Amino acid sequence: MSNRKPYVREMTRTWWKDHPFYRFYMVREATVLPLIFFTICLTFGLGSLVKGPEAWAGWLEFMANPVVIILNILALAGSLFHAQTFFSMMPQVMPIKLKGKAVDKKIIVLAQWAAVAAISLFVLVLV
Give the pLDDT confidence of 46-76 residue by residue, as tens digits: 999 999 999 999 999 999 999 999 999 999 9
pTM: 0.73
| Residue 7 resides in a domain | no
Write out the residue range of the structural domain in which residue 64 sits: 20-94
User: Is the pLDDT at 83 greater than 80, yes or no?
Assistant: yes
Cβ atoms < 10 Å from Cβ of 69: 11
| Residue 78 resides in a domain | yes
| Residue 32 resides in a domain | yes
Residue 1 pLDDT: 61
Taking only the tens place, the pLDDT of each residue in 24-54 is 989 888 888 888 999 999 999 999 999 999 9
| Residue 43 resides in a domain | yes
Residue 58 pLDDT: 96
| Residue 1 resides in a domain | no
Residue 127 pLDDT: 84
| 79 φ/ψ sector (left φ>0, alpha ψ -120 to 50, else beta) | alpha
CATH of the domain at 41: 1.20.1300.10
